Amino acid sequence: MKPRWLVLLSLVTILGMLATACGSATPEVVEKTVVVTKEVVKEVQVTKIVQGKTVTEIVTATPPPPEEVTLKIWIMPNGPDPLGAIQTEIDEFEKLHPNIRIEAEVLDWGSAWSKITTAATSGEGPDISQLGTTWVAAIAAMGALRPFTAEEIAAMGGAENFVEASWQTCNPVGSGFTVAVPWFVDTRAIIYRKDVLEKVGLDPDEAFATWDTFDAALARIKEAKEAGEVETYPIGFPGKNDWNVLHNFAPWVWGAGGEMLNPGNTAAVFNSPEAIEGFKFYASLFTKGYTPPDVLELNSAQVDGMFPSGEVAMIISGPWMVKNSRTPEDKGGFAGSVAAENFAVHEIPAGPAGRFTFVGGSDLTVWNSSKHQEEAVEFVKFLVSKESQIRYGGNIGMLPAVKEALADPTFKDDPDYGVFVQAVGHGKSYPAIAAWGPIESAMVKNLGALWDDVAGVNGPFDPDTMIPARLDAAKQEVDALLAAGGG
């Protein structure tokens, strides 16, 4: 990985040098008009290349007025009002920097990938862009991202100021560069109905302690539903017709002691005996009848909807559900409903190897093609400042990526957001390698096929043979992708 990176970067640098050299090598007549006014007069050292020779001279000049600069930022549809939320930040920023104007464009997640890769290859990108955490390494490998300097990172509070799992995604493995800065965090926890657990006599802390107690708790709710004591199914989660297929499995795989790739990121190891236990446990939650019977054909949004409607006692979802539970119905939330009044959050139960949850979200990047990189960095600095992080995170229903902001009472001391903040501490993200995007596509396909097996499409589901078979096939594909075996 390293040599490729170096070659790419040095290529970009050399090209840049050539371009600037060519630009200034044309002989020019410089007229110096020094107007002495009452303003501050400064001495400026100017180095020019005139006909191939470097000439340095001291020029006295008045400081130029700050140049009017317009920056373009690409973001994704974050939260219920993507443009409104970013405009709030832009307005605040423009108050501090009157010479910088920022134009935001919202890309759709579906088309964003092709638009961003096109920009990366053509060199005509935005100044700043939001990138999904798993995309950063790939776009960086295309040479499109400007690395942040040590001073800039220090000015943003240093690496320690950011959530570890997010920070990791900003530093592509083997590159030695920080090409992005974490913006916000998406993590998963269990959202449950206090009243249902109470009614069946379960203590949440015990019910969500380990896999075994979790299994017992779900069995208890199922029993209670069959006896007519409660109306909800124990839990809901989507199957193959969804975009979160891998994120849904990941906490259980990690909790079982499994990993996605080997330490050198050269081969898949998700078919190890430990990992298989994780896949088995999660699939067993369906086969044991803890979910509504049709859950495997639904997508995440539809499953999220089963919680407010009172169909299920719990779902595994993200911080946006907290916001939804406090947003009135006419604005797309479910405040005031039974589910909202009994809304509670708990971390995902600990597996044999510990407690883990998926951490995703988005990072901010400055593009090499930007003509105003300094100003772009200024805006990034502003977006990761504590106040902006708290405000923006709250507006879009995601967690801040800056620890300072996470520790703010708005999040940390909130009974619901607070649990997500804790969960971030047990968060894990995927390896920050350029090939991760393709690997995720391959996993969504193969795990989708696994959900079909679980649903009984290919005969009665036998976890001991069917799960390893699907994972072995997935490993073959992922290994081929890691070897970049095709063109």
Partner 1 sequence: MATSTWRPARRNGLWQRIRKHRFAYLLTAPTALAMLGVHFIPTLLAFYMSFLRLNQFTLGRFLRAPFVGLANYALIFSSRNNALVAGINNAARNTLIYAVAVNVGTLGIGIVLALLLNRRFRGRGIARTLMLLPWVVPTYVVGMLWGMMWLRDRGIINTILVDWLHLLSQKPFWLIGRNTLWAIIIPTIWRQLPFNTIMLLSGLQMVPEDLYDASAIDGASAWQQFWYITLPLLKPVVAIVLLWGAIFTFFGYNIVIMMFGNGGGFPGEWGDLLMPAIQRQSFGYWMFGLGSAVSILMMLVMMLFVGIWYRVFRVSLIQE
Phi, psi angle pair for 177, to nearest 5°: -120, 155
CB of 399 to partner 1, least distance (A): 22
Contact letters (x/-) for partner 1, 358-387, by CB under 8 A?
------------------------------
Select from 20-28, 187-195, 417-425, 454-462 the region that touches partner 1 (CB under 8 A).
454-462
CA distances from 230 to 77, 221, 336, 346 (A): 37, 8, 20, 20
Least distance from partner 1 to the Cβ atom of residue 104, Å? 24
What is the contact mask toward partner 1 in residues 421 to 450, using x (rule: CB under 8 A)? -------------xx-xx--xx-xx--xx-
Shortest distance (Å) from residue 1 CB to partner 1: 10
Which of 65/110 has CB closer to partner 1?
110
Options 44-52, 141-149, 321-329, 343-351: segment touching partner 1 (CB under 8 A): 141-149
Closest distance to partner 1 from the beta carbon of 456 (Å) = 8
- Please report how close the Cβ of residue 438 comes to partner 1 at its closest, in angstroms: 4
Query: Looking at beta carbons only, is 100 or 481 nearer to partner 1?
Result: 481
Considering beta carbons, is residue 128 or 450 the nearer one to partner 1? 450
Query: Within positions 266 to 325, which residues make up the interface with partner 1, using CB under 8 A?
Result: 292-294, 296-299
- The residue (of 175 and 385) whose beta carbon lies closer to partner 1 is 175
Task: Please identify, using beta-carbon distances, which residue of 383 and 455 lies nearer to partner 1.
Answer: 455
Shortest distance, CB of residue 145 to partner 1, whole angstroms?
13
Among 24, 70, 99, 121, contact with partner 1 (rule: CB under 8 A):
121
CB of 139 to partner 1, least distance (A): 9
Which lies closer to partner 1 via its Cβ, residue 213 or residue 476?
476
Q: Which pair of structure tokens corresponds to residue 206?
A: 């015990």
Nearest approach in angstroms of CB 175 to partner 1 is 13
* 486 contacts partner 1 (rule: CB under 8 A): yes
**Can you give the chain as a three-state secondary structure string?**
CHHHHHHHHHHHHHHHHHHHHHHHHCCCCCCCCCCCCCCCCEEEEEEEEECCEEEEEEEEECCCCCCCEEEEEEECCCCCCHHHHHHHHHHHHHHHCCCEEEEEEECCHHHHHHHHHHHHHHCCCCCEEEEECCCHHHHHHCCCECCCCHHHHHHCCCHHHECHHHHHHCCCCCCCCCCCEEEEEEECEEEEEHHHHHHCCCCHHHHCCEHHHHHHHHHHHHHHHHCCCCCCECCECCCCCCCCHHHHHHHHHHHCCCCCECCCCCCECCCCHHHHHHHHHHHHHHHCCCCCCCHHHCCHHHHHHHCCCCCECEEEECCHHHHHHCCCHHHCCCCCCHHHHCEEEECCCEECCECCEEEEEEEEEEECCCCCHHHHHHHHHHHCCHHHHHHHHHHHCCEECEHHHHCCHHHHCCCCHHHHHHHHHCEECCCCCCCHHHHHHHHHHHHHHHHHHHCCCCCCCCHHHHHHHHHHHHHHHHHHHHCCCCC
- Binding segment (CB under 8 A) for partner 1, from list 128-136, 324-332, 379-387, 453-461: 453-461
CB 326 within 8 A of CB 335: yes
| Contacting residue, 142, 173, 338, 350, with partner 1 by CB under 8 A | 142
Q: Which is nearer to partner 1, 326 or 445 (CB)?
A: 445
Q: Which is nearer to partner 1, 9 or 344 (CB)?
A: 9
Q: Per CB under 8 A, which of residues 217..276 are in contact with partner 1? A: 239-245
Tell me how many residues contact partner 1 (CB under 8 A): 49
Which residues of the shown chain bind partner 1 in the complex (CB under 8 A)?
A: 4, 8, 110, 117, 120-121, 138, 141-143, 239-245, 292-294, 296-299, 434-435, 437-438, 441-442, 444-445, 448-449, 451-452, 455-457, 473, 476-477, 479-481, 484-487
